[in-house]
Amino acid sequence: MSEKLAYLRKDFERLFKFSVVGAFGALINSFFLWLFTEIAGIFYLFSSLIAIEIAIFVQFMLNDRWTFHERRTKGWSEFFKRILKSNIWRAGGIALNIAVLFLLTEYAHIYYLLSNIFGILCAFISNYIFESRLTWGVG
C-alpha cells in the first residue's frame, strides 16, 4: 500500500470516528438545549451557547481518547492548551450553528430543536478540518 493511500485511509478512519463523536455530541447538545430551554426557562439562543460548550467539552475528551488517540493529550498543561485551541477553532462552527438555529427558527418557523440539528450539520466539516489540523496537528 502506498504511503499516500495509507494516509488517506487513516484520515478517513479519523473522519468516521469524528463523525461518531459528533453524532454523540449532537445528542448531548440537543438534550441540554431542550433542558435549559424547556425546564430552566432560558431563552433558546442562550441555552444553545451553554449546550454547545458542554458538547464541545465531551467531544474533546472523546476525540482525544479515541479519534486522535495516537496524539493523546499528556498532562494538564497540554490539556488546557488543547481545550482552549479546540474552543478557538470551533468558534466559527459555534457562530455558524447559532446563526442557522436563529434563522431557521425565527424566519423559517422551524422548531428550535430541529433548527439546531441543521446548525450542527453545517458546522461539522469546518470543525473537523480545524480540529484535526490545528488542535491535534494531523495533516
Q: What is the DSSP string of 5-48?
A: HHHHHHHHHHHHHHHHHHHHHHHHHHHHHHIIIIIS---HHHHH
pLDDT at 105 over 80: yes
**Residue closest to 73 by CA, chosen among 87, 91, 60:** 60
**In contact, 115 and 105? CB cutoff 8 Å:** yes
pLDDT at 1 over 80: no
Grade residue 88 by pLDDT with cuts at 50, 70 and 90: confident
Tell me what pLDDT residue 31 has.
Answer: 98
pLDDT at 3 over 90: no
User: Residue 65 carries which DSSP code?
Assistant: I
Over residues 43-47, the mean pLDDT reads 96
Single-letter amino acid, residue 12: F
